[in-house]
Amino acid sequence: MSGSPAPTSGEVTGDDAVARDANVSLALLGRDRSPFLPTTFWHWDADAAADVLVDRDRDPRTWNAIAAGDGFVVTQWNDGTTDGPGRERVPTCSCSMPTTVHSMLDALEVGSGMRVLEIGTGTGYTAALLKDRVGPSGTVVSVEIDEYLATRARANLAGVGVGVDVITADGLADHSIGGPFDRVHVTCGIRVVPATWIERTVPGGRIVMPWGTHFAPSHDLLLTLTAGVDGTASGRFEDGLSYMKARGQRTAWPQAPEKWWEHQDATHSTSAVPGAWVEGALTGFGAPVLGLLLPNTVKTVEDRPYDDDDDDAAAADRTTTLSLYRSGPTGLSCARVLYGTTADTTTTAWGPDDLAAEFLAALRWWRRHGRPEAEGFGLAVLANDGRSTQRVWFGEPNETPSWSL
């Protein structure tokens, strides 16, 4: 599976008996994941605050304990170009937490005899689970963009006698995959739902995926779309989780000019919005919602040193910097929001879009509507001539407000 949920997504754990079981994947999902794991993988060690290599040949006891547990394990870094964690290295394949896999499969509602398309084969484990559920009369086609991972997955599936058709292709763009399908199961974080998935899903069929925004890249949302007629699909956001992003939809960070905030065209202002509002939104469940309100926007948050010589108590309190960036047809837009815990905020904006004003407006909107969580929103997708458009709705699909992404 080309997706790795963050530890926070393990909050959906099923009953306590399952959590105590010696093998979570076997008890919860009906199949042990151990045969699908490589002899070496990386496991997050909370005490060391690092990804630690676990080798079955050197330490079989630890390997078996982790494989039987409810943690995720990383099986590939940097699309296979590096052999472990380190500076500027990102995980690109994993075997996800069994409890998170359970949540995804529950949402999918796959049954006997169904035709299922999976995007992101990874280790092949979830493809096997899907085949278990569709039975001998159903079919599972799993698509993996990475040739090495696809080859390993085929071997893993053959080793346990599970018949799944594993295709090496770009599941986001390849139009030769076939179909139609009753279900589409996506194991990587998605930003834009490809038209090809909707076009290959029968009316009434389900498409389940981790969906998120570039604004909150670590806060994906479980999204279940129900396919309609004429290339439409719609569904409500559910549980929060975090998956590795699809290779074709990873966040591209804009290259902003050095010290753009000192540019003569930059605008500076002070807002009465309390810094506590900003802090509360960014550190709580407001970040995914702000991502819905600020399309195609990326952010960084960093503390800045306290200035002992600053006589302005309010300015001294503004020790956190939120930076916003957006690349658009008219150029790059940048913004900074300086805030603290008690003072108001100061902003700087540069470029064609006033991202500072947009951010503060989004923050006010969120608070004015009672600080709704992402579950109060949904996504409608229209596929037309191989392209898709996305519209976010708040409340109910046919109500306002709604806006395009």
Distance CA 74, CA 57 (A): 17
Euclidean distance between CA atoms 207 and 232, whole angstroms? 12
| H or E, element range at 53 | strand 50-55
Give the closest residue to 171 by CA, choosing from 193, 204, 144. Answer: 144
Instruction: Tell me how far apart the alpha carbons of residues 273 and 251 are, in angstroms, rounded to a whole number.
Output: 29
Q: What are phi and psi of 316, to 5 degrees?
A: -65, -25
Closest CA to 207 of 119, 125, 127: 119
User: Catalytic: which of 25, 94, 96, 323?
Assistant: 96
Alpha-carbon dihedral angle through residues 254, 362, 10, 238, given to the nearest 10 degrees: -110
Residue 87: Cβ within 10 Å count? 4
Strand pairing report for 139-144 and 50-55: unpaired
DSSP class of residue 256 equals: P
**Which residues are CB-contacts of 7 (< 8 A; sequence separation ≥ 6)?**
44, 71
Q: Which residues contact 150 (CB under 8 A, 6 or more apart)?
A: 121, 144, 166, 167, 168
Amino acid letter for position 234: S
Alpha-carbon radius of gyration of the chain: 23
How far is 145 from 161, CA to CA, in rounded Å? 23
Determine whether 4 is an active site residue: no
- What ranges make up the beta strands (E) of 192-272? 201-211, 220-227, 232-241, 267-271
Written as one letter, the residue type at 223 is L
Nearest CA to 295 out of 221, 403, 385 is that of 403
Q: Which residues, listed in sequence order, are joined to residue 52 by a DSSP beta bridge? A: 43
Residue 295: exposure state from Cβ atoms within 10 A (0-12, 13-18, ≥19): middle
Indicate which residues carry an active-site annotation: 96
